[in-house]
Structure 1
């Protein structure tokens, strides 16, 4: 009986020390625009690849994405600018989440993720 308690204690200690206690962040996938787009509101196109991001055809580094999008947004006078994200083959869910976290800092942008066929 004593050896069984020792083994259970060692297993408990092992699982406590190897588990992670990090908290996962939430990414908001809803937009406040109500799903309607205005015809005068020209969208910004983004292509998301496994190692590259392009805004309107121009390559952008991931850390500079929010800044570049804010610069493009400054040229617009509308309240909300649609951002259409096309996913290229090989894009992982983590890569998409990283981009959505960066876009959370940009105000006045309505994000739509285009489904690839």
Structure 2
């Protein structure tokens, strides 16, 4: 029985070597392509979130900067004494922080799409 097993292995080992010699590189290329493709999809999804947050920051900042209010001179002077010089930047930062928290709550569901 041992001689039969040895004969079987001596015949199968060269076949296995030739199989992996010819098809092993294809398997490795497919495996690495799959890993790179999945990582690329992940980077695209992360890029979408970064672009969404950056675009939202620009939109919020432009909306807050474009707000104008007509009020009497005495009231405008009083408001200017109370509000800081960078009031629009502060409001933009607060609104953007709230939007970012909302986007990060949704991120796990979106990044989970497609099995990544």
TM-score (structure 1 length as normaliser): 0.31
Larger RCO (alpha carbons 8 Å, 6+ apart) = 2
> Where is the helix percentage greater, Structure 1 or Structure 2?
2
> Where is the strand percentage greater, Structure 1 or Structure 2?
1
TM-score (structure 2 length as normaliser): 0.31
